[in-house]
Amino acid sequence: MAQLLEGVALARQTREILRERVSSIQKTCPTFQPVLKIVQVGAREDSSVYVRMKTRAAAETGINCEHINYPQHISEYELLLALKRFNDDPSVHGIIVQLPLPSHLDERRITESVSVEKDVDGFCEGNLGKLAKRGSEPLFVACTPKGVMKILKHYNISVAGKHAVVIGRSNIVGLPMSLLLEKANATVTMCHSKTKAIPEIVKTADIVVSAVGSAHFVRADWFKEGAVAIDVGINYIPDSSKKSGYRMTGDIDFENAKEVVSAITPVPGSVGPMTVAMLMQNVVDSAIRCKELARKRMPSLLPLKIQTPVPSDIDIARSQTPKFIGDLASEIGISKNELECYGAYKAKVSLDLLKRLSHRRDGHYVVVTGITPTPFGEGKSTLTAGLVQALSNLDKLAIACVRQPSQGPTFGIKGGAAGGGYSQFFPMEDFNLHLTGDIHAITAATNLLAAAIDTRIFHENTQSDAALFKRLTTVKGNKTEFAPVMFRRLEKLGISKENPEELTDGEKSRFARLDIDPSTISWNRTLDTNDRFLRKITIGENSTEKGFTRQTGFDLSVASECMSVLALATDLKDMRERLGKMVVASNKQGDPVTADDLGVGGALVVLLKDAIKPTLMQTLEGTPALVHAGPFANISIGASSIIADKIALKLAGTEPDEDETKDAGYVVTEAGFASDIGMEKFINIKCRTSGHKPDAVVIVATVQALKLHGGGPPVGPGKPIPEVYKNEDVELVRKGCSNLAKHISNSRKYGLPVVVAINKFASDSDSEIFAIREEALRAGATDAVISNHWAEGGNGALNVARALIHACENEKADFRFLYDLNLPIEKKIEIIAKEMYGADGIELSPLAREKLERFTEQGYKDLPICIAKTQYSLSADPELKGVPNNFTVPIRDMRLSAGAGFIYPLAAAISTIPGLPTKPAYYNIDLDEDGNILGLS
């Protein structure tokens, strides 16, 4: 009597082992959850039986299994679209298309649309082809052959050196079965419908596997004595003793064959249960593989073609071939459905990623700032690019978060802001120009709100209260109702009625008439071009405006409060609330008038719904960069967006079972200007809003800039550089280090370790570099090292990267803010002036004090402070270099950004729309004969 190779108990044991494995992983990583999608079309009963069996097995194994049953008439396009969604969903680890499919669907096309990484059935071309290729391993092996091999192993049936005959050559069983047996060193003969003399071939076999789907096809007298019979067939034959009238049987004449063979699989009860068990194993293996891949989110590095002397920035950029942005996204763990490509090399990142990665702890958070800026340029953007390249060279995932440049400076003075040398953001042409249109969206939203202000004043000036109310609330068919946005104004007015007809005449008047005082309008129109002649204009000159004229002006788009809102919003809902709260003027009673009072808040968020998504780009070495927002560093925070940082911190973060210090990646972001302006606002406004706490500060300094702060002669555009800046002068450098020491001190007041990066130039001497290092360490820096990233790329910033890693992993930050929000407005300004600038105090002008009192009365006193002052000095006087003392900070005016969430006192006359110089950068910008952009830098 043959040994029965039963599979029920083995399948149960396999599921129990898998369940224990899943449970064990979940103890250290609670978010681990294998997910299987079973797609069925129609309601065939036999298919439904199989689906129920798989669903039950999944539940017993700890797999989250969802059965999606589409109607019989679903189109092929709709089904392929659904499968694509599952393919692109990183939370899904396995997809099964239950066969057969209705005749109008192309079965091969449908099954092959399942991605190789989720083909847990194991019979798509990618997996089957790898199984056939010598030296290659598929991600998944077809479940039935895999189950057969597991049965043979469990019952200690040797395969090596045996002659195996496989009857049937389907992609699901026959072909992969033959390949697996061959890989196990059996000699395999495959038989099929065209094979002659099958009985004679079977007679020579040590192992016979039948998968033809024909009841009792293989007769007992075909076997040689002692052979092993594996029956994969599932057939139904009439049986009056069964309630259904049918019973299941296999391809082999079991009753007679068991008298001849040494071992045989019964049907049912062997291969079938093991097939389902192997499916469960494939799903669990897939989930574990995805979990491990999530730990390997490390971009491959692009080689640099270093040249000496260093070519122009645009020539360097043009010599490099970027990665396709989808490839970079995949390397760092962004799924396809979280990416919206804008061409080949840039893409928007969906905020849905934050939901998927909400369980992760944040990565290390680093802010790059500098000493007080000089005309030499200190190179913060270049260092940011070089530093993420260097960290990647040290096998640390690093992501740069930087602002989008405005086209105003690009065509005006700078010619670009993508970094420089071999440390650039790239492609630089895209980075410096339109990118993905965010600034244009800001321009559109700002100008829509400006139009709404003047339009409302015009209509209030020309209509009675009753007529105004009727026009505002009338919809199609003369029905009156409030638009959804109007309920925000009703709530502000304390009116709880929902039907316009129920309002009293007084309530109708209060609702309809904003009564804006034109002299208090603070909202300008914008454009993304430097144009001094639009700083002040008169509008309403046409006769159709019925005599309503007023003076207004334009700002650069990046100076708009809409840009500040984009930078400080934490999600789409938050952005909507902030846009609606933007104060554009006061009414004649002194109350603030907001965008939602004008009914335009919803329209603004619609214009900005895509702009809220950061843009993924790369550095020259192929490391990731998120480019988002571009607020001024004077009147706003001067940093990239909170949302970009949130996404980057999760991508660089750690899973629950990883070491949150050693395994974490790095997010390197830049704060505009120096520690007294950009970094102060980054911490006290941006970090206060986001809740993120930086781990370290990197301060960029140069020998030449420190010489200027030490008392070196002034420099300026178009003037020859004095020799003192080219020759060694250690004493002058040491004097200038007082400015560096102040910025180190400023950073330490937030409880953060400081690394000083000395941006190397060819004229720097070793003695000058040593002096900077000595003075920096004396001032409290954790380390001070040379960085030559401009000439060498990431390799040139390795010492900075190592110092930063040491600071983040070994120096404990004691993060704190500079002031309490509950303090009076004047006191908060004074703390910033004294602690960050070194001032003796502040002096409020009558206008500033009037504004201060108004903002306090209007309920805005608890907002953080964003002082607008010159970047060229710690004081409010740009001519005072080094570390000025014995000065006060004059506060000439005070303005409100209620939507962005700060008050900005003006300590200087800050131009919000620069003019063009005599020779703007656009003189150098053109296309060559091949359509390549020239002149950007």
Q: What integer is the mean pLDDT of 641-663? A: 95
Closest residue by Cα to residue 682 from 534, 567, 838: 567
Q: Residues 394, 801: contact at Cβ < 8 Å? A: yes
What kind and span of H or E run contains 937? none
Give the separation between CA 135 and CA 301, rounded to whole angstroms: 27
Q: How many other CB atoms are there within 10 angstroms of residue 341's CB atom?
A: 15
Closest residue by Cα to residue 329 from 599, 34, 2, 615: 615
What does the pLDDT read at residue 314? 87
- Catalytic entry in 37, 40, 54, 783: 54
Q: How far is CA 7 from CA 13, 150, 151, 152, 231, in A?
A: 10, 9, 7, 10, 12
- Percent over 70 (pLDDT), the chain: 100
pLDDT of 568 higher than 90: yes
What does the pLDDT read at residue 415? 62
In three-state secondary structure terms, 320 is: coil
Burial (CB < 10 A; 0-12, 13-18, 19+), residue 83, is buried
Q: How far is CA 904 from CA 825, 828, 865, in A?
A: 10, 11, 6
Give the separation between CA 26 and CA 23, rounded to whole angstroms: 5
Give the separation between CA 22 and CA 59, rounded to whole angstroms: 12
Name the token pair of 448: 């829509």
Task: Read off the DSSP letter of residue 866.
Answer: -
Partnered with residue 631 across adjacent β-strands are none
Q: Strands 696-701 and 364-370, how do they pair?
A: parallel
Encoded amino acid at 475, one letter: V
Task: Find tokens 């046409």 and name the residue.
Answer: 542
Q: What integer is the mean pLDDT of 547-558? A: 93
Closest residue by Cα to residue 556 from 660, 725, 405: 405
Give the separation between CA 855 and CA 849, rounded to whole angstroms: 10
Q: Residues 211, 167: contact at Cβ < 8 Å? A: yes
In three-state secondary structure terms, 819 is: coil
pLDDT of 476 higher than 90: no
DSSP string, 547-602: T--EEE-EEEGGGSHHHHHHHH-SSHHHHHHHHHH-EEEEBTTS-EEETTTTT-HH
Q: Strands 207-210 and 163-167, how do they pair?
A: parallel
Partnered with residue 668 across adjacent β-strands are 366, 400
Give the separation between CA 906 and CA 778, rounded to whole angstroms: 34
Give the separation between CA 841 and CA 831, rounded to whole angstroms: 8
Closest residue by Cα to residue 146 from 290, 49, 14: 14
Question: How many residues are given for the chain?
Answer: 937
What does the pLDDT read at residue 386? 98
Q: What integer is the mean pLDDT of 493-500? A: 95
In three-state secondary structure terms, 200 is: helix
What does the pLDDT read at residue 142? 96
* Sheet strands (E) in 763-866: 783-787, 841-844
**pLDDT digit string, tens, across residues 344-357:** 999 999 999 999 99
Question: What's the predicted TM-score (pTM) here?
Answer: 0.92
What does the pLDDT read at residue 281? 98
Closest residue by Cα to residue 807 from 364, 360, 363, 298: 364
Q: What are phi and psi of 591, to 5 degrees?
A: -85, 150
Burial (CB < 10 A; 0-12, 13-18, 19+), residue 558, is buried
Q: How many other CB atoms are there within 10 angstroms of residue 193's CB atom?
A: 9
Q: Residues 763, 726: contact at Cβ < 8 Å? A: yes
Partnered with residue 45 across adjacent β-strands are none
Give the separation between CA 648 and CA 626, rounded to whole angstroms: 8
Q: Residues 626, 669: contact at Cβ < 8 Å? A: no
Q: How many other CB atoms are there within 10 angstroms of residue 243's CB atom?
A: 6
Task: Find tokens 């389902």 and name the residue.
Answer: 276
Question: Number of H helices and number of E strands within the chain?
Answer: 33, 35
pLDDT of 475 higher than 90: no
Q: What integer is the mean pLDDT of 806-812? A: 93
Q: How far is CA 316 from CA 384, 419, 760, 922, in A?
A: 18, 12, 19, 20
Give the separation between CA 193 and CA 423, rounded to whole angstroms: 65
What does the pLDDT read at residue 39? 97
Partnered with residue 786 across adjacent β-strands are 758
Closest residue by Cα to residue 101 from 73, 68, 128: 73
What does the pLDDT read at residue 414? 64
What does the pLDDT read at residue 409? 74
**pLDDT digit string, tens, across residues 847-899:** 999 999 999 999 999 999 999 999 999 999 999 999 999 999 999 999 999 99
Give the separation between CA 671 and CA 669, rounded to whole angstroms: 7
Task: Read off the DSSP letter of residue 658.
Answer: S
Q: Residues 592, 583: contact at Cβ < 8 Å? A: yes
Identify the structural domains of the chain with CATH numbers, from first to last: 1-118+272-296 (3.40.50.10860), 157-265 (3.40.50.720), 338-350+357-432+611-810 (3.40.50.300), 439-534+545-583 (1.10.8.770), 825-906 (3.10.410.10)
pLDDT band at 917 (very low <50, low <70, confident <90, very high): confident
Average pLDDT along the chain: 94
Task: Find tokens 């309403």 and name the residue.
Answer: 540
Give the separation between CA 871 and CA 134, rounded to whole angstroms: 65
Checking 81-85 for CB contacts under 8 A at 24+ apart, the result is 82/39, 83/39, 83/110, 83/113, 83/114, 84/113, 85/337
Closest residue by Cα to residue 792 from 428, 275, 340, 386: 386
Q: Residues 527, 375: contact at Cβ < 8 Å? A: no
- Catalytic entry in 98, 404, 407, 704: 98
Query: Catalytic: 3?
Result: no
**pLDDT digit string, tens, across residues 588-640:** 999 999 999 999 999 999 999 999 999 999 999 999 999 999 998 888 999 99
Which is more confidently placed, 241 or 94?
A: 94
pLDDT band at 528 (very low <50, low <70, confident <90, very high): very high
What does the pLDDT read at residue 902? 97
Partnered with residue 399 across adjacent β-strands are 667
pLDDT of 800 higher than 70: yes
Query: Catalytic: 618?
Result: no
Encoded amino acid at 57, one letter: A
Which is more confidently placed, 475 or 827?
A: 827
What does the pLDDT read at residue 418? 86
Task: Find tokens 């629950």 and name the residue.
Answer: 656
In three-state secondary structure terms, 312 is: coil
Contacts of 531 (CB under 8 A, 6+ apart): 554, 913, 915, 916
Contacts of 27 (CB under 8 A, 6+ apart): none
Q: Residue 9, CB half-sphere, CA atoms under 13 Å: how many?
A: 5
Q: Residues 181, 207: contact at Cβ < 8 Å? A: yes
- Catalytic entry in 40, 118, 119, 121: 121
**pLDDT digit string, tens, across residues 7-62:** 999 999 999 999 999 999 999 999 999 999 999 999 998 899 899 999 999 999 99
Contacts of 634 (CB under 8 A, 6+ apart): 677, 868, 869, 871, 908, 910
Encoded amino acid at 804, one letter: L
Q: Residues 654, 660: contact at Cβ < 8 Å? A: yes
Give the separation between CA 397 and CA 425, rounded to whole angstroms: 17
In three-state secondary structure terms, 225 is: coil
What does the pLDDT read at residue 909? 81
Partnered with residue 187 across adjacent β-strands are 163
Dihedral of the CA atoms 645, 646, 648, 654 (nearest 10)? 140
Give the separation between CA 936 and CA 924, rounded to whole angstroms: 8
Q: What integer is the mean pLDDT of 391-397? A: 97
Give the separation between CA 688 and CA 709, rounded to whole angstroms: 32
pLDDT band at 207 (very low <50, low <70, confident <90, very high): very high
Give the separation between CA 574 and CA 570, rounded to whole angstroms: 6
pLDDT of 416 higher than 70: no
pLDDT band at 210 (very low <50, low <70, confident <90, very high): very high
Name the token pair of 479: 């029905």
